[in-house]
Amino acid sequence: MRRVEFIKASLVAGAALATGRSAFSQPGSAAGKTFHLNYAPHQNMFASAGASFLDQIRFMYDQGFRAIEDNGFLKRSVEEQSAIGNLLAKLGMTMGVFVIDTGNNTKVSFTTGKKEFTDNFIETVNRSVEAAKRCNARWLTFVPGNFERSLPIGIQTGNVIDLLRYGTEILEKHGLIMVLEPLSDTPELFLRHSDQTYMICRAVNSPSCKILFDIYHMQKNEGNVITSMDRCWSEIAYIQIGDNPGRKEPGTGEINYKNIFKFVHEKGYKGVMGMEHRNSKPGREGEMAVIQAYRDADNFL
How confident is the model at residue 81, as a pLDDT? 98
Could you tell me the domains of the chain?
26-297 (3.20.20.150)
* pLDDT mean over 19-34: 55
Average pLDDT, the chain: 92
- What does each C-alpha distance from 237 to 72, 230, 270 come to in angstroms? 20, 13, 10
The predicted-structure confidence for 121-164, as pLDDT tens digits, reads as follows 999 999 999 999 999 999 999 999 999 999 999 999 999 999 99
SS3 letters for 84-99?
HHHHHHHHCCEECCEE
CA 13 to CA 193: how far, in whole Å? 48
How confident is the model at residue 32, as a pLDDT? 76
**pLDDT over threshold 70, residue 194:** yes
How confident is the model at residue 151, as a pLDDT? 98
**pLDDT over threshold 60, residue 85:** yes
CA 160 to CA 172: how far, in whole Å? 18
CA R_g for the chain: 20
List Cβ neighbours of 207 (8 Å cut-off, separation of 6 or more).
172, 177
Residue 231 exposure: Cα atoms within 13 Å on the Cβ side: 12
**pLDDT over threshold 70, residue 269:** yes
pTM, full prediction:
0.91
**pLDDT over threshold 90, residue 26:** no
